[in-house]
Amino acid sequence: MENDNKPSRKKWDLMIGIALILLGSFRIYNRLQEQTEWDFRSMLTLLFIGYGGFLIYRYFQN
């Protein structure tokens, strides 16, 4: 039964990865337009972008 959900889960991982990269990049762009310093929130946003990239990479590896 668990194998039936794997293809749909992989598609969700791809969509979540794309969304994390797009929204995270938009947030970083807006933050750099307002201020030039890198704080904790900027670093956390970069981690979310990295995780989104990892999800997309894992989708195409399998």
**For 7-24, how does the pLDDT look when each residue is reduced to its tens digit (9 = 90+)?**
788 899 999 999 999 999
List of residues 6+ apart from 18 with CB closer than 8 A: 52, 56
List of residues 6+ apart from 28 with CB closer than 8 A: 42, 45, 46, 49
Is the pLDDT at 4 greater than 70, yes or no? Answer: no
**For 44-59, how does the pLDDT look when each residue is reduced to its tens digit (9 = 90+)?**
999 999 999 999 999 9
CA–CA gap between residue 43 and residue 48 (Å, rounded): 9
CA–CA gap between residue 28 and residue 3 (Å, rounded): 37
